[in-house]
Amino acid sequence: MVRAQFLLLSACLLCLAATSVRDGVYSKAQAARGKVSYGQDCAKCHGANLEGGESAPPLFGPEFQTKWTGRTAGDLFNLILKTMPTDDPGSLSRRQCADLVAVVLESNDYPAGPKDLDSGADALAAIHIEPKK
């Protein structure tokens, strides 16, 4: 019984913790840091301003947001961690990937907040991607 109550309480805390990319989940300083890695590792394919290139898609805009709606910041993070850059996948640290997700969020005009985006899997999985209003 105590255990059941505990489970219920944890489930509730999890739902309270669920947030959206509209809630200011990264900081401006983090996005600025991410921009430096972006320039080194991503711009040659995705363009200097994430606009996309000959072989790589844009990383902002209504189409990008629609495609990612219903998924989480953790999904975006994992895609970058495991598959990007396509010419050297697996070369980025978790911290670099969190900074790069911040760049993508900033470019999609989601607001910055007081804290850096956490690179922990649980924190990332609780942040839902929604279209910009």
Q: Which residues bind ligand HEC (CB under 6 A)?
A: 41-42, 44-46, 55-57, 59, 64, 67, 76, 79-80, 84-87, 92, 100
φ/ψ of 19, rounded to 5, equals: -130, 180
Give the residue with the Cβ less far from ligand HEC, 45 or 123: 45
Closest CA to 117 of 89, 132, 98: 98
Give the residue with the Cβ less far from ligand HEC, 12 or 39: 39
End-to-end CA distance of the chain: 43
User: What's the closest the beta carbon of residue 34 comes to ligand HEC, in angstroms?
Assistant: 8
User: What's the closest the beta carbon of residue 80 comes to ligand HEC, in angstroms?
Assistant: 5
User: What's the closest the beta carbon of residue 3 comes to ligand HEC, in angstroms?
Assistant: 40
H helix intervals, the chain: 2-17, 28-41, 43-46, 62-68, 73-83, 94-107, 121-125
Give the residue with the Cβ less far from ligand HEC, 8 or 109: 109
Query: CA of 28: how far to CAs of 85, 88, 114, in Å?
Result: 23, 27, 8
User: What's the closest the beta carbon of residue 132 comes to ligand HEC, in angstroms?
Assistant: 15
CA atoms of 11 and 112, how far apart (whole Å): 28
Give the residue with the Cβ less far from ligand HEC, 10 or 99: 99
